[in-house]
Copies of this chain bind each other. A is one copy, B any other.
């Protein structure tokens, strides 16, 4: 991989995202990153303080571009749904983003999400003192459930199998469990196959939005 442009923070972040996407959080290494940038590992430290900051910066790049491409809906509720879906899909496409957001809960990527989501929740017309509780609940749900889904996606990727085959594997493993000792897991194994996490995620968002109504 030859150097095309001179080294810069932005170029480092771009290549870091490539590396994270192709081989996960363990795939991002100062040595492989340096190799791809045709330089030594020490050079990166001139532009980025450490690995954790690099991860947060890479995460912020994804979050920024995700939020920018979320179109506003007709109502605040529609916009909230669109942002939630956009973040869910982005985290699924870049599974390392979920964990990265958890490690920097007050930094730039989170502030960016807050600025996008907050005013929409505000527009629903809640009492001012309930604002943080509701935005926090929404954020916890989106990022919490999104990250769990992403971890599953990541796991099937690491094992080198498609998502559907992975669910198949789980279903088979569970259906082989002792029926006396693990009756519920054994019985529910059938339903694991072909289940759509995204549909459930969005149903949960609707549930939360419906729950906000009575608080107005």
Q: Is A160 an interface residue (CB 8 A)?
A: no
> Nearest chain B CB to A134's CB is how many angstroms away?
9
Q: Is A64 an interface residue (CB 8 A)?
A: no
CB-based contact B102/A132 at 8 Å: no
What residues of B have a CB within 8 angstroms of the CB of A144 in the complex? 140-141, 143-148
CB-based contact A148/B184 at 8 Å: no
Question: Which chain B residue has the least Cβ–Cβ distance from A203?
Answer: B137
Q: Is A173 an interface residue (CB 8 A)?
A: yes
Interface of chain A residues 94 through 118 with chain B (CB within 8 A)? 99, 102-103, 105-106, 111, 114-115, 118
Q: Is A39 an interface residue (CB 8 A)?
A: no
CB-based contact B188/A135 at 8 Å: yes
CB-based contact B147/A106 at 8 Å: no
Interface of chain A residues 25 through 41 with chain B (CB within 8 A)? none
Q: How far does the alpha carbon of A8 sit from the alpha carbon of B32 in the complex, in Å?
A: 39
- Residue-wise interface mask of A (76-107) relative to B, using a CB-CB cutoff of 8 A (1 in contact, 0 not): 00000000000000000000000100110110
What residues of B have a CB within 8 angstroms of the CB of A183 in the complex? 115, 119
> Nearest chain B CB to A9's CB is how many angstroms away?
20
Q: Is A131 an interface residue (CB 8 A)?
A: yes
What residues of B have a CB within 8 angstroms of the CB of A136 in the complex? 195, 197, 200
Q: How far does the alpha carbon of A174 sit from the alpha carbon of B111 in the complex, in Å?
A: 9
Binds B, one of A11-19, A43-51, A67-75, A204-212: A204-212
Q: How far does the alpha carbon of A140 sit from the alpha carbon of B105 in the complex, in Å?
A: 20
Question: Which chain B residue has the least Cβ–Cβ distance from A193?
Answer: B132
CB-based contact B184/A132 at 8 Å: no
13 intermolecular pairs with C-beta atoms under 8 Å apart = A105-B148, A105-B151, A111-B177, A115-B183, A118-B188, A129-B191, A132-B191, A137-B200, A140-B148, A141-B204, A144-B145, A147-B147, A210-B211
